[in-house]
Chains A and B, each alone.
Chain A
Amino acid sequence: MGQSYGQLYQKSYEMRKRFLEIFTKLGYGHLTTAFSETEILIALLSETMNFHAGNVNDKNRDRLVLSKGHGAGMLFPVFEDLGILSKEETEEIIKCGGNFTKTRELFYPGFEFYGGSLGIGLGMAAGLAMGAKLNREDWMVFCLLGDAECYEGAIWEAMLFAGHNRLNNLVVVVDRNYLGCSDFTENMCELEPFEEKWKSCNWDTKAVDGHSYEELLGALEGIRSRRTSKPLCIIADTVKGKGLDYLSNKPLMHGFMPKGEEACAAYENLKG
């Protein structure tokens, strides 16, 4: 582990604060889903994956498939922190007319800032993982899914495929915040028993607190030397809107972005 837990929690605060800077200025974005996944992205990109400013074009780097495309906004603070993007580059990209070509090179298909076409990423991640195996290469594939994204049938197609093909170089983290856009998942159409569903498709599973670095990094420890043929699904319990109490865990806040005085209040309310 590169950084202490204290440093990582401080980083979470800084990433959320930087997200607010970038996206309140733009006046558009998906704050609550980005705040839900903050610790997961930092745990993956900063602490686990073989992915850094020096190897973004290296074919042996680990791959991240950000399937919940509306969560892509949090990549910008994290990429800045990793030295992959400068603040100036972010600001050049995140504006009307901004060119996101640079981000296209980094992840698929998470650049869909207009909303993300949900359900596609897991199949792509499975294809990447199978490609690595066919190539006899040892890079790994990490895929971040939203829990409400798992209503998409394509997720289940890919889940069956990855389990059947023993893609043990594939790790999925589900951002389990129990919220879709309009309602809680268990009100819309129950996902539970969620972990058992993955198990039944031949996946290993772990359940963690998705805002706890101790638990997230514990689940990801030894990820390259797992003695199993199964892919791994980490179900990370989270709170949608974590860090801003007045937006947390509320339906219909999926596409909400504070503006004007509300944005100022958001800075003040942001919890470290």
Chain B
Amino acid sequence: MKVRDVFFHEIYKKTKHGEDIVIVSSDIGAPSLDDYRRDFPNRFINVGIAEQNLLAVSSGLQLAGKKVVAYALNPFPVTRAFDQVRNLMASLQIPITVTALNAGTCSAEAGYTHMPIENLSLMRTLRNLQIVNPSDEAIARKLADAVVEEPYPRYVQFDKYIEGTLYAAEDIDFRKGFITNGKESTIAVVAYGIMAHQLMKLDLPVKVIDCYSLPVQEEEFIQEIEGCTKIVTVEDGVAEGGVGSMALEILNDRGIQIPVVRKGLRFRQGYPNIFTNRELLWQEEGLDLLGLEQEIRKLCEG
């Protein structure tokens, strides 16, 4: 099941069991929300295509005692409503969960307007909130638990092409923020979302660090990478300000020198002005899976 639908099914179950949850949508639904809308019509609040109001109404509902899941089409809850995000979620610390459909280039067919490729970089500039990138179903399920048990300002990006389970629920820790799989190696690949999901499935001779919740716990992250001779960061978003930047900042702040190869969207030829899709964009930007695999294996060889 897709990670978004896993999350909403869990939210449905929790509401059915009496949790005081409301979902606020900016004119977006999902098949996995149909039962919720039918059974809890008063708890599904539609503000229309109005992301600024989505954030404000959600915050007001939370202050009235509700557990609030806001649901919008990415990138707009961040790009259109960034002022509300920074004041209400980061500064005031109103613990709402803002979920957004689409991550990175997964809806590239709809054009640049619908690519939330700068959102992670923008949100990383804010303190006191978590950016969650579910790369498997266990994370999505645990996230629904967190809505109820650990309310906190969270922004969640659901990639519509991620489904399946990679992790055990007990290994998911949103405060730590990352999980390491793969092989014992002096080369680490750092990724999140769809890139982590894909790379985890490849049998690469490297350790793969999936940063599913940012910011990561820095000391634990350092322990994970300090013995490495090379780090490769891979993201389906702009390279500026993403996890590549994060790795460089963490290393630099501690005076640790490890070469970091950053793979991300660069748009060196400008933004796409043709009808495109994720596969074509990845090929153009050197992020296609086969190319990445070959590049990482080559690095391992020396």
List the interface of chain A (C-beta within 8 A of B).
59, 63, 104, 108-109, 112, 117, 119-132, 134-135, 153-154, 157-158, 160-161, 165
8 closest residue pairs by CB, A with B: A127-B60, A131-B64, A123-B56, A157-B53, A157-B50, A127-B57, A154-B52, A128-B60
Known: A131-B64, A134-B42. A157 touches B47 (CB 8 A): yes
Q: Which residue of A lies closest to B47 (CB)?
A: A161
User: Once the chains bind, are B60 and A131 in contact (CB under 8 Å)?
Assistant: yes
State in angstroms the CA–CA spacing of A59 and B64 once bound together: 8
Give the residues from 34 to 84 in chain B that come closer than 8 angstroms, CB to CB, to chain A.
42-43, 45, 47-48, 50, 52-53, 55-66, 83-84
Given contacts A127-B59, A130-B60, A157-B53, contact A120 B65 (CB under 8 A): no
Nearest-neighbour CB distance to chain A for B218, whole angstroms, equals 27
Tell me, yes or no, whether B22 is within 8 Å of chain A by CB: yes
Known: A117-B83, A128-B61. Contact between A123 and B92, CB under 8 A?
Answer: no
B residues in contact with A119, CB < 8 Å: 52
Question: Interface SS of chain A: helix, strand, loop or mixed?
Answer: helix
* New A-B contacts (19) at CB < 8 Å, excluding given A130-B45, A131-B63, A153-B52: A104-B92, A108-B59, A117-B83, A120-B52, A120-B56, A120-B87, A123-B56, A124-B56, A124-B60, A125-B60, A126-B56, A127-B58, A128-B60, A128-B61, A131-B60, A131-B61, A158-B57, A161-B47, A165-B45
Is B63 touching A161 in the complex (CB atoms < 8 A)? no
Asked whether B88 is an interface residue with its Cβ less than 8 Å from the other chain, the reply is yes
- Report Cα–Cα, A153/B53, bound state, in Å: 9
Q: Is the CB of B42 within 8 A of A127?
A: no
Cβ B66 vs Cβ A123 within 8 A: no
With a cutoff of 8 Å between Cβ atoms, the chain A residues found around residue B60 in the complex are 123-131
Q: How large is the interface on B (under 10, 10 to 19, 20 to 34, 35 or more residues)?
A: 20 to 34
CA separation between A153 and B18, bound complex, in Å? Answer: 36
Q: How far is the CA of A123 from the CA of B58 in the complex (A)?
A: 9
Task: Establish whether residues A109 and B53, one from each chain, have CB atoms under 8 Å apart when the complex forms.
Answer: no
Contacts of B62 in A (CB 8 A): 127, 131
Asked if A158 and B53 make an inter-chain contact with CB atoms under 8 angstroms apart, the answer reads yes
| A124-B47 CB under 8 A given contacts A117-B83, A130-B57, A157-B53 | no
Are A127's CB and B61's CB within 8 A?
Answer: yes
Contact B53 A123 (CB under 8 A): yes
A and B contact pairs by CB, cutoff 8 A, 29 listed:
A59-B65, A108-B63, A109-B88, A120-B88, A123-B56, A123-B60, A123-B84, A124-B56, A124-B57, A124-B63, A124-B88, A126-B57, A126-B60, A128-B60, A128-B63, A128-B64, A129-B60, A130-B61, A131-B62, A134-B22, A134-B42, A134-B64, A154-B50, A157-B50, A157-B52, A160-B50, A161-B47, A161-B48, A161-B57
Q: How far is the CB of B55 from chain A (nearest CB, A)?
A: 7
CB-based nearest A residue for B93: A104
Please, which residues of chain A bring their CB within 8 A of the CB of B58? 127
A125 contacts across to B, CB distance below 8 A: 60
Q: How far is the CB of A13 from chain B (nearest CB, A)?
A: 34
Within the complex, the shortest CB–CB distance from B256 to chain A, in Å, comes to 35
Interface flags for B68-110 (1: CB within 8 Å of A; 0: not) read 0000000000000001100110001000000000000000000
Q: How far is the CA of A119 from the CA of B56 in the complex (A)?
A: 10
**What chain A residues lie within 8 Å of B66 (beta carbons)?**
131, 134
Q: A112-B87, A161-B48 are in contact. Are A154 and B56 (CB under 8 A)?
A: yes
A229 to B237, CA, bound (A): 47
Chain B nearest Cβ from A51, distance in angstroms:
15
A124-B42 in contact given A108-B92, A161-B53 (Cβ < 8 Å): no
Name which residue of chain B comes closest to A130, CB basis.
B61
Residues of chain B lying within 8 A (CB to CB) of residue A135: 64-65
Complex Cα spacing A267 to B255, Å? 58
Bound-complex Cα distance A37 to B242 (A): 45
- B56 and A122 contact, CB distance less than 8 A: yes
Contacts of A129 in B (CB 8 A): 60
Max count, chain A CB within 10 A of own CB: residue among B43, B45, B60, B66:
B60
Contact indicator A131/B65 (Cβ below 8 Å): yes
- Residues of A within 8 Å of B64, CB to CB, are 127-128, 130-132, 134-135
CA distance A109 to B50 in the complex (A): 20
CB-CB nearest in chain B for A116? B87
Measured between C-beta atoms, what is the minimum distance from B23 to chain A in Å? 12
Question: Which A residues lie within 8 Å of B56 (CB)?
Answer: 120-124, 126-127, 154, 158
CA of A158 to CA of B54 in the docked complex: distance in angstroms? 9
Known contacts A109-B92, A134-B42, A158-B56; is-contact A127 B48 (Cβ 8 Å): no
- Distance, CA A165 to CA B48, complexed state (A): 12
